[in-house]
Amino acid sequence: MEQFNYSLININSFDLLIGLGLILIVVGLSRWQNLMLEGELIVGAIRTLIQLIAIGYVLKYIFSLDNWYLILSFIALMIIVASITVTRRQKKQTKELPYLIGIAITAGSGVSILVATQIILQIEPWYEPYYLIPLAGMVIGNSMNAATLAVERIDSEIKNKRTEIEAYLALGATSKKAASSCMKAAMRAAMIPTINSMMVVGIVSLPGMMTGQILSGTSPIIAVKYQIIIMYMIAFSVAVSSLILTTLRFRRYFTRNHQLIEEAFE
Partner 1 sequence: MKITKIELINICKVKNERTILKNVNLKIIGGKRYIFFGPSGSGKTTLLRLINRMDDPTSGEILIDGHNITELPILNLRKKIGLVFQIPVIFNGTVKDNLMAPYDIGAINSPPNDAELKHVLKLSGLNNNFLIRKASELSIGEKQRVNIARMLLNKPDVLLLDEPTSALDNSSATRLLESIMELSKVNGLTIIMVTHQLEYARLLGGQIIDIQDGAIINEQL
201, β-bridge pairs: 205
Local structure of residue 8 (DSSP, 8 states): P
Q: Does 160 bind partner 1 (CB under 8 A)?
A: no
What does the per-residue mask of binding to partner 1 show for 51-70, with x meaning CB under 8 A?
--------------------
Contact 226, 130 (CB under 8 A): no
200: helix, strand or coil: helix
Considering only 127, 168, 226, 250, the residue that binds partner 1 (CB under 8 A) is 168
Q: Which is nearer to partner 1, 77 or 167 (CB)?
A: 167
Contact 237, 108 (CB under 8 A): yes
Considering only 34, 172, 203, 221, the residue that binds partner 1 (CB under 8 A) is 172
Q: Which is nearer to partner 1, 92 or 258 (CB)?
A: 258
Q: Footprint of partner 1 on residues 195-254 (CB under 8 A)?
A: none
**Dist. CA 53–CA 50, nearest whole Å:** 5
DSSP letters for 117-186: IIIIS--SSTT-HHHHHHHHHHHHHHHHHHHHHHHHHHHHHHHHTHHHHHHHHHHT--HHHHTHHHHHHH
Please calculate the CA angle 102-107-113 and round it to the nearest 5 degrees: 115
Which of these ranges, 38-46, 85-93, 222-230, 256-264, lies near partner 1 under the rule CB under 8 A?
A: 256-264
Terminal alpha carbon distance of the chain: 57
Which of these ranges, 164-172, 192-200, 202-210, 233-241, lies near partner 1 under the rule CB under 8 A?
A: 164-172
160: helix, strand or coil: helix
Considering only 9, 25, 170, 221, the residue that binds partner 1 (CB under 8 A) is 170
Q: Footprint of partner 1 on residues 173-192 (CB under 8 A)?
A: 173-174, 177-178
Size of the site for partner 1 (CB under 8 A): 18
Minimum distance of partner 1 from residue 185's CB (angstroms): 13
Q: Which is nearer to partner 1, 38 or 164 (CB)?
A: 164
Contact 141, 266 (CB under 8 A): no
Q: Does 119 bind partner 1 (CB under 8 A)?
A: no
Minimum distance of partner 1 from residue 160's CB (angstroms): 13
Q: Does 159 bind partner 1 (CB under 8 A)?
A: no
Which residue type sits at 247? T
260, β-bridge pairs: 254
Residues that bind partner 1 (CB under 8 A): 163-164, 166-174, 177-178, 257-260, 262
